[in-house]
Amino acid sequence: MFSSATRTALPRTATRAFSASARAKAETLVFLETKGDSLVPSAANAITAAKKVGGKVTGLIIGKDEASVKPAVDRAKKMGLDALLVRTSPALEHALAEPTAPVFAELVKKGGYTHFAAGHSALGKNLFPRVAGLLEVQQISDVMSIQDENTFTRPVYAGNAISTVKSTDSIKLFTVRASTWEPAQEGDKEAEVDVKEAENVGPEWVSEELVKSERPDLATAPTVVSGGRGVKSKEAFDETIIPLADALGAAIGASRAAVDSGYADNSLQVGQTGKVIAPNLYVAVGISGAIQHLAGMKDSKTIVAINKDADAPIFQVADIGLVADLFEAVPELVKKVEEAKK
Amino acid sequence: MRPTPPSWLKLLVPVKRTVDYAVKIRVGPKGVETKGVKHSMNPFDEIAVEEAVRLREKAKDAIEKITVVSIGPAKASEVLRTALAMGADDAIHVETAEDQVVEPLAVAKALKELVGTESPDLVIMGKQAIDDDSSQVGGMLAGMLGWPQANFASKVDLDAAGKQVTVSREIDGGLETLKMQLPAIVTTDLRLNQPRYASLPNIMKAKKKPMKKLKPEDVKADFTPRLETVDVKAPPPRQGGAKVESVDEVVAKLKEAGVL
């Protein structure tokens, strides 16, 4: 086989297609998630995964009406897609599963798509199983890599094992783990956009009380600062972790110990039973690094650990480990990060 | 048939027996080694059972029955006993062969069949099983039944008289609140509640609670896997362990790595 250097030198199309027949046959539809009027960052990663299948790739954007998704459409059509579908209906405004899933199922069936992809975000996780139920296919969740048009790898047991599965379904429905795919870049080529009102919209839904936080979301944030038991109190958590997160523009996470002790909210727990994340930068402060915690963050690109116990297991996975008292090191780090940004 | 007041509701709680969350799993030549490894109820399902029991504690007589169901090998009955000890009324065990892989689609189909026979008003289940991490069954079942769904619930308010349920659900970047007419499906997130421990007297009582045994044929589900597992590997180990001496070095390394 090729050496890795040769392989990267090949044109993109040659590396992503598996065989001439696969290229001719596969037709992938990829749902592009939007928030407000723009694409969410992970949509670009989903496009890359869809292209890896080989064959034609069609994007799909949904919204209340054409105007509400225009910026997202303008961006998506330049991202190397072969075509872009926009389906609108007032009922699709919040992309709730009930009205949306029938629209998706119908599009896939009528369009003759062999593959349907989306990001493994809260939205993708909510929508896709319902579509899978309607189409009666076995969905493949959280895909990390694609070997051929039928064969996918995905993490099981909270990322402690990587499973390769071959699908026998005629339609492959899958969600992709954003952090393992490079985002698709904007180019000069523009995909043709087909805008229509959505057919077969399910019953409309009552949505209310959408609470939004200003801080980046833990599951998708590129940078995460987490505190553990070593932070010692809720006050200390707020005084050390929050300023560091602010300085880095990061989401806040916590270990189970910190959550159980009431330092941080349950929703911030990173680990096997909390959120499994893979940001570019993960800063673990006062976290020893129990296996359950590591399961939730060990795929992060760069891990920084600050802990006063030099033997803490977290140092075995940290790229940058600092043995120090967090109450001294963190404020100093905040100051220096802010200086570095200027 | 005895007369049933219109507000009496039935709850169905599917639970799964999984490798205990505290176990450090090992990947052998045939995949993840599960023989002789401690198993327990999937943590998210424990939360679902707890929520069902709490809903009844609040709604009292309005909830007629909480039925727990598990699809799996003989030992899955152990997690059903645990659920009964936590406060469920009766259990259904669809017993499969020891090594049978039951995919989420098959589980959803079997549950659809059971929904037909048990006619629950609300199905509460975990948002995902911690072994296959698929996070699919709730949505698939809702799609098959055409019922409304609220995944990743962090708060559930049941209006038994009005046959409505209001659910706050965790979404990326916040919470969303949905109001649904029953029958409906709710899947539970970690923050919904803190499951209780079953007390010894309740564990003893649970032994006397009814458990119906069914075979896969009884739920008309085809358990043939749609996904063939090609292989299972341990993830590549991480090269860590680089320690630095000062905060300045941390900042310098971060700049070097291009994250600052």
Q: Which residue has the tokens 């090594």?
A: B99
Burial of A189 (0-12, 13-18, 19+ CB in 10 A): exposed
ipTM (interface pTM)? 0.91
CA neighbor of B102 nearest in space, from B70, B126, B67, B77: B70
* B178 contacts on A by Cβ (under 8 Å): 96, 205-208
Q: Do A119 and A247 share a structural domain?
A: no
Phi, psi of A128 (to 5 degrees): -65, -40
CA distance A257 to A313: 15
**Does the residue A208 lie in any domain?**
no
CA-CA distance, A177 to A163, in Å (whole number)?
14
The token pair at B130 is 């911690």
For residue A214, the chain B residues in CB contact (below 8 A) are none
**Averaged pLDDT score across all residues of chain A:** 88
Looking at the structure, tell me whether residues A295 and A252 fall in a common domain. Answer: yes
Interface of A with B in 34-63 (CB under 8 A): 35, 40
Distance from CA of B72 to the nearest CA of A (A): 18
B232 vs A167: CB contact, 8 Å cut-off? no
Mean local confidence (pLDDT), A165-188: 92
User: From CA A310, how far away is CA A299, in angstroms rounded?
Assistant: 22
Cα A52 from Cα A251, distance rounded (Å): 30
Would you say residue A174 lies in a domain?
Answer: yes
| Inter-chain Cβ pairs, chain A and chain B, closer than 8 A | 262
Looking at residue B234, the DSSP 8-state letter turns out to be P
| Residues 166-185 in A contacting B (C-alpha not used; CB under 8 Å) | 166-169
CATH number, domain containing residue A23:
3.40.50.620
Q: Is residue B45 within 8 Å of B51, Cβ to Cβ?
A: no
Q: Which CATH code is given to the segment(s) B7-224?
A: 3.40.50.620
**Neighbour tally for A260: CB within 10 Å:** 14
Beta carbons of A163 and B172 less than 8 Å apart: no
Q: Is the pLDDT of residue A208 over 60?
A: no
Q: What is the mean pLDDT of residues A298-311?
A: 93
- How far is the C-alpha of A209 from the C-alpha of B141, rounded, in Å? 26
Phi, psi of B55 (to 5 degrees): -60, -40
Q: Is residue A97 part of a domain?
A: yes
Tell me which amino acid residue A341 is.
K
pLDDT tens sequence for chain B (260 residues): 555 555 689 999 999 999 998 888 999 888 899 999 999 999 999 999 999 999 999 998 899 999 999 999 999 999 999 999 999 999 999 999 988 889 999 999 999 999 999 999 999 999 999 999 999 999 999 999 999 999 999 999 999 988 899 998 888 767 788 888 899 999 999 889 999 999 999 999 999 999 999 999 999 888 999 999 999 999 888 877 788 999 999 999 888 888 77
Question: CA–CA separation, B102 vs B104, rounded Å?
Answer: 7
- Identify which of B104, B25, B44 has the alpha carbon closest to the alpha carbon of residue A275: B44
Suggest the residue from B168, B247, B251, B256 to mutate for an interface test with chain A (most A CBs closer than 10 A).
B247
Question: B142: left (phi > 0), else alpha (psi -120 to 50), else beta?
Answer: alpha
Pairing outcome for strands B184-188 and B149-159: parallel
Other residues' Cβ atoms within 10 Å of the Cβ of residue B233: 12
Contact B91, B80 (CB under 8 A): yes
Q: What is the mean pLDDT of residues A169-196?
A: 92
Contact A46, A118 (CB under 8 A): yes
What is the DSSP track for B84-142? HHHT--EEEEEE--TT----HHHHHHHHHHHHHHH--SEEEEES--TTT----HHHHHH
Residue A25 pLDDT > 50: yes
A5 and B CB contact within 8 Å: no
Query: Is A251 a domain residue?
Result: yes
Which chain B residues have a beta carbon less than 8 Å from that of A320?
A: 242, 244, 249-250, 253-254, 257
- Partner-chain contact A322 B136, CB within 8 Å: no
Domain count across chain A: 2
| CB A39 within 8 Å of CB A72 | yes
Q: In the sheet that A115-119 helps form, which strands lie side by side, from edge to edge?
A: A140-143, A172-176, A115-119, A27-31, A56-63, A83-88, A192-197
Set of chain A residues whose Cβ sits within 8 Å of the Cβ of B240: 303, 315-319, 321
Distance CA A32, CA A71 (A): 13
Q: Is residue A311 part of a domain?
A: yes
- Please report how the helices B137-145 and A122-135 are oriented relative to each other, as an axis angle in degrees rounded to 10: 50
Residue A163 lies in a domain: yes
pLDDT digit string, tens, across residues A62-105: 999 999 999 999 999 999 999 999 999 999 988 999 999 999 99
- The answer to whether residue A213 is domain-embedded is no
- Which of B46, B137, B157, B254 should one mutate to test binding to chain A, selecting the residue with the greatest count of A CBs within 10 A? B254
Cα-trace Rg, chain A: 22
Structure token pair of residue B91: 């259990």
Identify the residue with better confidence: A273 or A206: A273
User: Considering only alpha carbons, which residue of chain A is nearest residue B246?
Assistant: A322
Q: Which domain holds residue A131?
A: 2-197
Written as one letter, the residue type at B88 is A
CB contact under 8 A, B168 and A333: no
Question: Which tokens belong to A122?
Answer: 């809260």
Amino acid of residue A198: A
Please tell me the predicted confidence (pLDDT) of residue A13: 42
Residue A215 DSSP class: S
Query: What CATH number has the domain bearing residue A246?
Result: 3.40.50.1220
One DSSP character per residue, A12-78 reads HHHHH---HHHHHH-EEEEE--EETTEE-HHHHHHHHHHHHT-SEEEEEEEESSTGGGHHHHHHHTT
Residue B186 with chain A: CB contacts under 8 Å: none
Structural domain contains residue A202: no
In this prediction, residue A205 carries a pLDDT of 56
Residue A211: pLDDT above 50? no
Mutating which of A150, A157, A298 best tests the B interface, going by the most B Cβ atoms within 10 A?
A157
CB-based contact B240 A133, cutoff 8 Å:
no
Say whether pLDDT at A341 is over 50.
yes
Alpha helix locations (H) across chain A? 4-9, 12-16, 20-25, 41-52, 70-76, 97-111, 122-135, 234-248, 256-260, 291-297, 326-341
Task: Check pLDDT > 80 for residue A219.
Answer: no
Res. A328: pLDDT tops 70: yes
The two tokens of residue A133 are 């139920």
Is pLDDT at A15 greater than 60 in this prediction?
A: no
Query: Which residues of B fall within a CB distance of 8 Å from A212?
Result: 173-174
Per-residue pLDDT at A19: 44
- 3-class SS of residue A1: coil
Domain ranges of chain B: 7-224
**Binding-site residue positions of A for FAD:** 229, 255-256, 269-273, 286-293, 307
Please, what is the angle between helix B104-118 and helix B137-145, to 10°? 50
- What is the H or E stretch that residue B204 is in? helix B200-206
Instruction: Record the tokens describing residue A250, joined without a space.
Output: 């990061």
B110 CA: distance to closest CA in chain A (Å): 12
